[in-house]
Every structure is written in C-alpha cells, then in structure tokens.
Amino acid sequence: MKQDPDRTPFVGIRRGLGRRCPNCGKGALFKGYLRVEPTCASCGHENGAYRADDGPAYFTVLIIGHLVVAPLLLLSFVATWNPYATAAVFLPTVAVATLTALAFIKGGFIGLQWGLRAPAAPPSEL
C-alpha cells in the first residue's frame, strides 16, 4: 500500500483549521456550523467517518479558559468593578469566543485524525 507523503498531522490540522477537507484542502469540511459533510464534494473523501465527539469541546474550553478567563482573574482592576458590569462585559465575550473557536478546533481535530490515519469508529447505536 502506497503512503501519501502529504498525509501528515500538521497538514491535516492546517486544512482542518481552515474548515476544509483534510484530504484535498479544497472541499468544505462542514455543512453549516458544526455538522460534518459526510463526503467531500471535491475529492469524495469520507469525512463523516472521523468521530470528533467531545474532544473539540474540551480543547475549546481549555484554550478559551486560558486566553480569556485566566487574564480576567489575574487583572487586579477587575476586582474593583461592579459584578454586574463585569458579567455584562465578560460573559458575552467568553460566549462569542467559545462559539467562534469551536468550529475551527473541531476542524483541526478532524484533520489531526486524518493525518494520524485514525481508524473510523462505527456509529454508536442508541
């Protein structure tokens, strides 16, 4: 079986972060906001075989927590603010940052699976 030299985790992550098919980098990875396109319209790759599950959500919380919440806790002037004003400013900021980052992180997560040649998991029966 011939190995594709371009199939590396870094290439997959880069293409996934761009919300593109990790196999060709041209087709859209998502249909809408977070629903994975089952097959790439450009190359026919089965993108629906990669299971993201809760991984992207965990990484999103980790990243947004470090980039937004940690500085909020470390800035001493925030303690002098009215708690309602603080919540009014920072809750929407955290929500927008989280929802924006989630789609890109999910794409990178799927791209990483593609680059590592992760086996496709069968869909779970509920």
Q: Could you give the CA distance from residue 79 to residue 98 in angstroms, rounded to a whole number? A: 23
Q: Could you give the CA distance from residue 36 to residue 105 in angstroms, rounded to a whole number? A: 13
Per the model's pLDDT, the better-predicted residue between 58 and 5 turns out to be 58
For 65-111, what is each residue's pLDDT tens digit? 898 888 888 888 777 888 898 889 889 999 999 999 999 999 999 99
Q: Could you give the CA distance from residue 108 to residue 15 in angstroms, rounded to a whole number? A: 7
* Predicted pLDDT of residue 73: 81
* Predicted pLDDT of residue 27: 92
Domain spans of the chain, in order of start: 9-115
Phi, psi angles (nearest 5°) of residue 19: 60, 40
* Predicted pLDDT of residue 126: 45
Q: Is the pLDDT of residue 7 over 90?
A: no
* Predicted pLDDT of residue 3: 56
Per the model's pLDDT, the better-predicted residue between 41 and 6 turns out to be 41
Confidence label for 120 from pLDDT (cuts 50, 70 and 90): low
* Predicted pLDDT of residue 77: 79
State the number of CA atoms in the 13 A half-sphere of 102 facing the CB.
15
The residue behind tokens 């997560």 is: 109
Q: What is the DSSP string of 48-87?
A: GGS--TTHHHHHHHHHHIIIIIHHHHH-GGGGGS-HHHHH
